[in-house]
Amino acid sequence: MPALEKLSIDTPEQVALEFSLATVGSRFLALAIDTLVQAACMLVLVVVAGLAVFGSRLMLNAASQWLLAVFVLGTFLVYYGYFALFESLWNGQTPGKRVIGLRVIHASGRPVSVLEAILRNVVRIVDQMPGIYAIGIISAFVTERSQRLGDLAAGTVVVHERPVSMDQQSFAAAGPPAGLPTHHGAGKLTAEEMSMLELFLFRRREQLDAYARLRAAQRIASYIRNRLGITTIIDDERLLEEVAAEYRALQRFG
Q: What is the pLDDT of residues 18-63, one digit of tens each?
A: 678 898 889 999 999 999 999 998 888 888 777 766 665 555 555 5
Query: Strand runs (DSSP E) across 33-86, as ranges?
Result: none
C-alpha 75, offset from chain centre: 27
* Nearest CA among 96, 232, 241, 250 for reference residue 175: 250
The predicted model gives 89-99 an average pLDDT of 90
Which is more confidently placed, 193 or 9?
193
For residue 63, CA distances in Å to 32, 42, 49, 58, 75 come to 36, 21, 12, 6, 18
Residue 247 has pLDDT above 60, yes or no: yes
Q: Which residues contact 217 (CB under 8 A, 6 or more apart)?
A: 200, 205, 236, 237, 240
Per-residue model confidence as pLDDT tens digits over 187-223: 888 888 888 888 888 777 877 777 788 888 888 999 9
pLDDT(166) > 50 = no
Portion of the chain with pLDDT greater than 70, in percent: 78
Give Dmax over CA atoms of the chain in angstroms: 83
